[in-house]
Each structure stands twice: as C-alpha cells, then as structure tokens.
Amino acid sequence: MKVFSFFRGGFRYTDVTVPSHDSSVTAFLPGLSVIPLVQHIGSRANPVVAVGDRVSEGMLIGRGQGLGSANIHATMPGRVVRTVSWKMAEGITNDALVIKLEGGFTVLGKKAEVFPWQGLSPFELQRIIAEYGIVEMEGSGRPVSDMFYALRSAHDPLTLVVRCVFDDPWLVADHVLLKERVAAVAEGACIAARAGRISRLVFILSRGLRELGQRLVDAAGSALPVSLVYTGMRYPQRNQRELELILRRYAKKQGYELGTMLALGPATLAAIHDAVKFKKPILDRYVAVGGSAIKEPKVMKVRIGTRIGEIFAECGGFTDKPKRIGSGSPLLGRTVMDLDEPVIKTSYAVFAFLAAQIGGHERSKCIGCGECRAVCPVGLDPETLYKLTGCSNARDEGLSRAAECHGCGCCEVVCPARLPLSTSIIRSALRGA
C-alpha cells in the first residue's frame, strides 16, 4: 500500500489528552437549548419565531439570508423563552434563541421514513440540502449549497474528495463518526456527487485506516469511478493545498485528470445523507471533549444548542481550574469566553487545558533558530515576514509573499519565543489584499 504525503515542512502532532477513538456516548438532552442564529460564515439567519412561540423538533426557526448564510432549526421541542446575545473572543457579537424543553419529540426515538433520492435532479438535491441548513461541519461553516453553486463555473472534470485525514488528534470525533456511520458517509458522498454533477469520487484516508477505506469503497458502489488513496499523518496534510498536491500527483501516476476538486469530510457527508434521505436537519453532532483539565475525556453525540459547561459536567467536570478553554483544535480553534456558549454545527471539539499543558505564554524576542522555516509547508520564511509586518514600507520589502500563507499555524506551534507568526502574517496579507 503506497502512502502519499506532501514534500516539505509540517510536523507530527500528538496530544495524549484527547478522548479515545474507540466509540461515542450520547449526551443527555439539555433542559434549555441555546440556538445561535449564526452557525455559518455568512450573515445572521433571520428569526421566524418569537419569544413565547412553541417549536417542534427540527422546525425552521431562522432563515438564511444570502450567500454564506444557512437555515437554522430547533433541535428540541419546546417553547422559546428568551433571546440572548454575547460577544465572542474575536469581538464578534452572536445572538440566539433559548428554547425550554417541553412536549414530545418527532424525530428522536421515532422510526425514520426513508425518501428515495436516486430519481431526484441535481437542482432538487441542492434545494433539499439548502432547506435543511447543511454546512461544512469540519471547517468554516460554509453552506454546502453555496459550494455546489460555485462549481457551476467549472469547465473541467469535477471530483469529490471525501477527506478522512486525521492529521490533528482533535479530529477524533470525525474518526469515530466515520467508524460508526461508514455507510451513511459513503451514501452521502454519492448524493453530493449527484447534486454537484460530479463525475469521480476519491476517498482519501490516513494511513492505518485500510479497513475503513475498503468499507467506504464497497458502500459507494460502482455508479461512479472511485479511487482510494492513503496519506501520511503529518500536519497539515488535511489542508486543501497539501491535499491537492498529493492527489494531483496520484492522479498523474494513474493517468487521469481530477479537474476541479471539492473536499468534504465525514460529518458533512453524513449530514447530507440525513437531510436528503430522512428530511432531517442537523440536530446533533459528534464532539470530542478533552484536555488535561477534564476528568473523563469522551467523544459525545451532542444536541446542537447544548451549553459547553453541561458537556464538561457530563465528563466528570474539571480536575483543577483550567487555564484555557476553547472550541475546535487547539492549533486553530477559538477561545471560549463563557461556559454558557453552546455547541454549534461546526463544534467538532471542545477542550479545557491546565496551565502545565499550555506551557509558557510570555513572548520573547526572536532567537533566529529557524524552526519556523523548517516546518512551513509553503516554504516561506515566517521569521522575516513577521518582522516585516511592522515596517511602513513592508510591501516594497517583500511582504507580498504573505498572501501565500494559508494559516496552518505550524510556525507558531514550534516557535520557542511564542511569537504570533502565522496570525500576524495572515492579517498583513488581508490588509494588503
């Protein structure tokens, strides 16, 4: 079995405080659900219910407004008791509807009616995916219907890349989902391929997942050409640029053209499957809960809108006062300012770290060790670019190369001076765009 990997930079990322990838547990249903109206990259969804209204499980409560915005649904039956707003660490204000659990469930515990999708047109499939608010759950929260719309302008072949690359241990929830719902992920890939008028499927998996890879191929059937590729575990192998590099090299060896590629992960494809086949919006998701401050790290199946503090409590609470609490991967995730913040569609992990796990946070002057240059997969010189960010004539001195940085954060992780290298370079590139 040949394993493909990118040539330059990166590092092997490990963390012993992540939960086991053996299985998941189902979290308790919350008495109060906090459903944000922004769970995507675009503008706030427009609420279609008000305080005092009763809602049913899966009911539309927020309508997406334009590109980048997605529909929001109630994840619990009950009554809207209030609206709340809060400011997140990035300075962005979010607001939400708070639903008190009341009444009976229409989805949970009920036998799902199956809707055949094979006879539906790509347009009809895209409409269903948009209606049920499906977004890229492993990434920025971009609506999947927008991603399909962007493919319309492509004039070359279209390839769907099923991205099952776990170069970051905090992607363990996706790993568990893939193991437990492999048939749904494969069928979701076939649905997505039809919706996007895609002509080829490529399943790319981390090395060591050979059995899962074969199960995906078998479940996908033979309606489309299918390729199975294995890749290394060096971070940031999952990144779009590094993924394309090795896939185009693989395709060249095989003698075919991949054309324009759309990469989607297991959680997104399982959500597409549920929306189209069962007419079900995203009601819950797999979340990795861990970190050195957590007594019992677990992968949990959590209802959207469950408050992060409740999830930590189900994992035994804290071993000691945490120094950092965050959502997503510690490499690129965001800081959580309030334990009442809820799980949203893109919350694949939540963590709480003790001070000892974080290490020193005091910045010092660059010592010129060159570690940042060694790990940069793009071949940049983060040290020099970082120093140029403070120059008034930085553009004339070569800071234009900052646009090549894709923000993987490798340089910041290895920097002994704790300098915000990648963060500063990306900000400079955005200012100069």
Q: Which DSSP string do the residues of 123-159 spell out, in sequence order? A: HHHHHHHHHTT-B-TTTT--BHHHHHHHGGG--S-EE
* pLDDT confidence of residue 26: 96
Low-confidence ranges of the chain (pLDDT < 50): 396, 433
pLDDT, tens digit (0-9, with 9 covering 90-100), for 35-80: 999 999 999 999 999 999 999 999 999 999 999 999 999 999 999 9
CATH architecture of structural domain 3-15+112-278: 3-Layer(aba) Sandwich (3.40)
pLDDT at res. 407: 84
C-alpha torsion 101→107→110→111, nearest 10: -170
pLDDT score of 433: 47
Closest CA to 380 of 417, 433, 426, 416: 426
- CATH 3.40.50.11540 segments of the chain: 3-15+112-278
Q: Supply the pLDDT for residue 145.
A: 95
Contact indicator for 77, 26 with CB cutoff of 8 Å: no
Residues 6+ apart with CB under 8 A from 37: 44, 45, 46, 47, 62, 72, 94, 95, 96, 97
- Check residue 2 and give its pLDDT: 83
Whether 372 and 403 have beta carbons less than 8 Å apart is answered as no
CB contact set of 140 (below 8 Å; sequence gap of 6+): 41, 346
Which residues are CB-contacts of 295 (< 8 A; sequence separation ≥ 6)?
315, 316, 317, 318, 319
Please name the amino acid found at residue 177: L
Q: What is the pLDDT of residue 88?
A: 65
Which distant-in-sequence residues (6+ apart) come within 8 Å of 411 by Cβ?
Answer: 371, 372, 375, 376, 382, 421, 422
pLDDT in the model for residue 427:
79
